[in-house]
Amino acid sequence: MTLKSVVDLLNKQKIIEGMVRTQPMQRHELVEKVVHKKHLAELQTVLASLSVSEIGKILAELPLDDARLLWQQIEAERLNDILWEVSSSLGADLAGDTEPHFHAGEVTAYELVDGRMRISRHQAHYACRSKGRGGCHLWNGGVFGEERL
């Protein structure tokens, strides 16, 4: 699915929903609600088939209002990963003050002790993309003591 396909889907939805609003009919609100839900389901299906990288590229190319509509349809579990794919300014427009974060991970360290390799594992925590902090840093509280790598 490409940017063009997503844009075509969004435009089709706007046209159909506009037509539904202007047509005189019984149960107008019900029809409008059903059409809107159908369009959101189509959008969610498309998003589920795309990688976070593809979604990030699409969000960057869309007008902000369309990007916000698309953002609201993304599964909550994928939002953090997608924030890494978009610019900081677009991420702020879409997610407010929410910043992308790394999950805690395990780091394996190797060191030579008395001619033998010693392996040690410890938890590492990452900080990145914060206002006021420069760059990404790995904070290491294990083998190497409290230091910044």
Q: pLDDT by residue (tens digit) across 81-133? A: 899 899 989 999 999 888 777 666 656 677 777 887 777 665 555 545 544 44
Provide the pLDDT confidence category of residue 143 given band limits of 50, 70 and 90: very low
pLDDT at 28 over 90: no
Provide the pLDDT confidence category of residue 140 given band limits of 50, 70 and 90: very low
Q: Quote the pLDDT of residue 10.
A: 87
Q: Quote the pLDDT of residue 1.
A: 55
* In the chain, where the domains are located: 3-95, 105-148
Q: Quote the pLDDT of residue 133.
A: 45
Provide the pairing of β-strand 116-127 with 147-148. unpaired
**Residues sharing a CB contact under 8 Å with residue 11, sequence separation 6 or more, in sequence order:** none
Range 73-78 average pLDDT: 90
Tokens of 19: 């037509």
Q: What is the pLDDT of residues 34-70, one digit of tens each?
A: 878 888 888 888 888 999 999 999 999 999 999 998 9
Residue 78 near residue 52, CB atoms below 8 Å:
yes
